[in-house]
Amino acid sequence: MTAAARPGTAALFGIGGALLVVVAAQLVGQFQLAGRAWPPLTDVLAYVTTPAGSGLLLRNGLVTLTAAAQGLLLGVVVAVFGAALALVVPMLRPGFERFAAILNAFPTIALAPLLITTAGREDTPMVIAALSVGFVMFVTMTSGFANVPAAHSDVLTVLGSSRVQRLVRLELPRAVPSFFDGLTLSAPAAILGATIGEWFGAPKGLGLLLVSAMQNYQMPLLWSAALVATALSLAAYIVFVQFQRIAVRRFG
Amino acid sequence: MTRALSFLRGLVHLWPVVLVFVAWDAWVVLNGYTSTVAPRPFPVVTDVVIGFGEYLPYISYTLGVALVGLLGGTLVGFAAAVVVWSSAALAGVVTPAALIIRSVPITALIPIIARIVGYGDPAVLTSTVLICFFPAFVFTLSGLAAIPASGHDLFRVLGGNKLQVLARLGVLYAVPNLMVSVRITAPTAVLAAMLAEFLMGAHGLGALFSESRSYMDMERAWGVALVATTVSVFVFLGARALENRVVARVT
């Protein structure tokens, strides 16, 4: 509404909102309104700044980030290739579309424990991240490819271009904004996927830290691990939103 | 006749699912995995079909939690968005905060909720409700924000108050958006319910999963994976059908 119309006011409101959350979280912790499980934010921050705490968070955060990044790369490559294949071979298309709906609803937790026994404890977070990303990217890319105006496609066909030429000259450039849309959704999905994989007995990572801190009632550690996971997810999202803006300006 | 034909054609288009089963079988056989590492599809499907009665209580629990969470989270999110929308200052302050809280990964949220609410059913339900809350809130708010200025003007000229704008105009803009949020969160609700059950619950598919894994009953574990996928897909398809109906009715 009016707040959104004035960017200065909107920014001010945003900062106010963030402050409100921080103060509220601190007060709830201070007065133990939610019991001992909700520590004051200052305690959490104090834990993060201790050398032991920051070392632990940094090491495990890096493990999760690496798994998520590798998974992101793998998932994106496979999904884009699959969506392009469905486009070039039209016979595959209805099947692939139906499959995309199933993949979209697939609960990744269903695979995690099964992957532990086959892919191994180390690789499972990366594989789960790749799967989560792959599902999201496949769905956005199929809809991105389908979004090509029939007239453009007809012109190229009449001029005698093959399906592959149409893919390279028309459908791929048209799908660039969808690609970046998919990436903004994929970045948090990769972090989530990696942490799900780590829940099921990975040797390192934020997911492991979260579960063990919960079981051992280490509240500052639990909260700071959650903060780091959120920060990673949010940072990845913001970075890809910037890419998306550039892409929309160039190809949109 | 044409109906039967189109139904058959629909079935043929499910070939990727068949391919997954074939690939699964080939993968197990080629790697020489024993059934304690990865069972072949046939025993798993047999376990699901024969032992369906044993699966049923777990399925209904997970499905119930997911649906209640989806419904509750959506309603609370809608109500919160309406309250926030009625004040520009409140909307400006709350929306960025909601966007930040929304990006907390479920895996980080569930252990915290488990500790605050306590292990068990309330924690499972709270996790699911909370996870469905934020998308509903954000989508409703963006729907309400899309009411054109001319609409506001018309109501003001005709002497309508804010409540009338909401009831006669806002709902039309917000409900399609709200249904998008239901479709998007439906599979997430199932995932969240299962993750919470896996971590602490004594009930539900997530619990059955961890149980069968610790007894090395791999057929059951893979069976749960299969059943959970089916449940999630059906919840998603149901949400999508609901979305199409509601959007067709409203617009």
- Hey, are the CB atoms on B16 and A210 less than 8 Å from each other? no
Using CB atoms within 10 Å of the CB of residue B204, give its burial: 0 to 12 exposed, 13 to 18 middle, 19+ buried: buried
Closest-CA residue of chain A to B36: A117
Average pLDDT, chain A: 84
pLDDT score of B44 more than 80: yes
Q: What is the pLDDT of residue A1?
A: 43
- Hey, are the CB atoms on A109 and B38 less than 8 Å from each other? no
- Hey, are the CB atoms on B108 and A107 less than 8 Å from each other? no
pLDDT score of A97 more than 80: no
Question: Which range is least confidently modeled, A1-15, A135-149, A185-199?
Answer: A1-15
Q: Using a CB-CB distance cutoff of 8 angstroms, which residues of chain A are in contact with residue B106?
A: 192
Smallest CA–CA separation between B5 and chain A, in Å? Answer: 16
Task: Please list, in sequence order, all residues whose beta carbon lies within 8 angstroms of the beta carbon of residue A110, skipping any fewer than 6 positions away.
Answer: B194, B209, B224, B225, B226, B228, B229
Sign of CA dihedral B207, B135, A214, A188: positive
Confidence of residue B1 (pLDDT cuts 50, 70, 90): low
Q: Using a CB-CB distance cutoff of 8 angstroms, which residues of chain A are in contact with residue B107?
A: 192, 195-196, 199, 207, 210, 229
Between A93 and B191, where is the model more confident?
Answer: B191
Closest-CA residue of chain A to B39: A114
| Average pLDDT rounded to a whole number, residues B181-203 | 86
pLDDT score of B164 more than 80: no
pLDDT score of A5 more than 70: no
Q: What is the pLDDT of residue B67?
A: 92
| Domain parsing of chain A, residue ranges | 1-36, 39-251
Q: How many contacts does A have with B, using Cβ atoms within 8 A? A: 168
Query: Which among B126, B113, B244 is positioned nearest to B189, based on CA atoms?
Result: B126
Contact between A222 and A206 (Cβ < 8 Å): no
pLDDT score of A77 more than 90: yes
Query: Which among B202, B182, B190, B171 is positioned nearest to B228, based on CA atoms?
Result: B190
Q: What is the pLDDT of residue A74?
A: 94
Q: What is the pLDDT of residue A11?
A: 77
The minimal CB distance from A230 to the residues B93, B104, B237 is found for B104
**Percent of the residues in chain B that have a pLDDT greater than 90, as a whole number:** 9
* Assigned architecture for domain A39-251: Orthogonal Bundle (1.10)
Question: Which range is least confidently modeled, A79-83, A143-147, B208-212?
Answer: A143-147
Task: Please tell me the distance from the alpha carbon of residue B141 to that of residue B136, in angstroms, as a whole number.
Answer: 8
CA dihedral (B152, B156, B160, B166) in degrees, to 10, reads 20
Task: Please tell me the distance from the alpha carbon of residue B68 to that of residue B87, in angstroms, as a whole number.
Answer: 29
Smallest CA–CA separation between A46 and chain B, in Å? Answer: 19
Give tens-digit pLDDT for A158-199: 888 887 888 878 888 888 888 888 888 888 889 999 998 888
pLDDT score of B14 more than 50: yes
Give tens-digit pLDDT for A215-244: 888 888 899 999 999 999 989 988 988 888
Q: What is the pLDDT of residue A73?
A: 95
Class of the CATH-defined domain B38-250: mainly alpha
Task: Please tell me the distance from the alpha carbon of residue A189 to that of residue A237, in angstroms, as a whole number.
Answer: 10
The minimal CB distance from B112 to the residues A16, A106, A226 is found for A226
- Hey, are the CB atoms on A210 and B107 less than 8 Å from each other? yes
Closest-CA residue of chain A to B20: A99
Confidence of residue B143 (pLDDT cuts 50, 70, 90): confident
| Average pLDDT rounded to a whole number, residues B76-83 | 87
- Hey, are the CB atoms on A101 and B221 less than 8 Å from each other? no
Q: What is the pLDDT of residue A69?
A: 94
Confidence of residue A252 (pLDDT cuts 50, 70, 90): low
Closest-CA residue of chain B to A92: B13
| Average pLDDT rounded to a whole number, residues B44-73 | 90
| Average pLDDT rounded to a whole number, residues B201-224 | 84
Confidence of residue A3 (pLDDT cuts 50, 70, 90): very low
Smallest CA–CA separation between B11 and chain A, in Å? Answer: 9
Q: Using a CB-CB distance cutoff of 8 angstroms, which residues of chain A are in contact with residue B88?
A: 1-3
The first and second tokens of residue A44, run together, are 């959490």
Residue recorded with tokens 């809608």? B78
What angle do helix axes B41-50 and B52-85 make, rounded to 10 degrees? 80
Contact between A68 and A129 (Cβ < 8 Å): yes
Closest-CA residue of chain B to A103: B233
Task: Please tell me the distance from the alpha carbon of residue A232 to that of residue A226, in angstroms, as a whole number.
Answer: 10
Closest-CA residue of chain A to B183: A105
Task: Please tell me the distance from the alpha carbon of residue A200 to that of residue B157, in angstroms, as a whole number.
Answer: 61
Q: Which of A109, A118, A198 to mutate to test the interface with B (most CBs of B within 10 A)?
A: A109
Smallest CA–CA separation between B196 and chain A, in Å? Answer: 11
> CA angle, B78 as apex, B75 and B84 as ends, to 5°?
140
pLDDT score of A2 more than 50: no
Q: What is the pLDDT of residue A6?
A: 62
Task: Please tell me the distance from the alpha carbon of residue A19 to that of residue A185, in angstroms, as a whole number.
Answer: 26
The segment(s) of chain B belonging to CATH 1.10.3720.10 are: 38-250
Q: Which of B95, B107, B141, B234 to mutate to test the interface with A (most CBs of A within 10 A)?
A: B107
pLDDT score of B103 more than 90: no
Confidence of residue A7 (pLDDT cuts 50, 70, 90): low
Query: Which amino acid, residue A160?
Result: G
The minimal CB distance from B225 to the residues A38, A110, A118 is found for A110
Give tens-digit pLDDT for B125-142: 988 998 888 888 888 888
- Hey, are the CB atoms on B105 and A37 less than 8 Å from each other? no
Q: Which secondary structure element, helix H or strand E, spans residue B158, and what is its range?
A: none
Q: What is the pLDDT of residue A89?
A: 81
**Percent of the residues in chain B that have a pLDDT greater than 70, as a whole number:** 99
Q: What is the pLDDT of residue A103?
A: 78
Contact between A128 and A112 (Cβ < 8 Å): yes
| DSSP secondary structure letter of residue A168 | I
Query: Which among A112, A184, A44 is positioned nearest to B222, based on CA atoms?
Result: A112
- Hey, are the CB atoms on A98 and B206 less than 8 Å from each other? no
Provide the 10 A C-beta neighbour count for residue A14: 18
Query: Which amino acid, residue B23?
Result: A
- Hey, are the CB atoms on B229 and A211 less than 8 Å from each other? no
Between B30 and A5, where is the model more confident?
Answer: B30
Task: Please list, in sequence order, all residues whose beta carbon lies within 8 angstroms of the beta carbon of residue A58, skipping any fewer than 6 positions away.
Answer: none
Task: Please tell me the distance from the alpha carbon of residue A150 to that of residue A156, in angstroms, as a whole number.
Answer: 10
Between A233 and A108, where is the model more confident?
Answer: A233
Confidence of residue A38 (pLDDT cuts 50, 70, 90): confident
Provide the 10 A C-beta neighbour count for residue A27: 12
The minimal CB distance from B92 to the residues A10, A99, A113 is found for A10
Query: Which amino acid, residue A198?
Result: E
Between A86 and A236, where is the model more confident?
Answer: A236
The minimal CB distance from B93 to the residues A16, A34, A206 is found for A16
Q: What is the pLDDT of residue A113?
A: 67
> CA angle, B41 as apex, B40 and B44 as ends, to 5°?
95
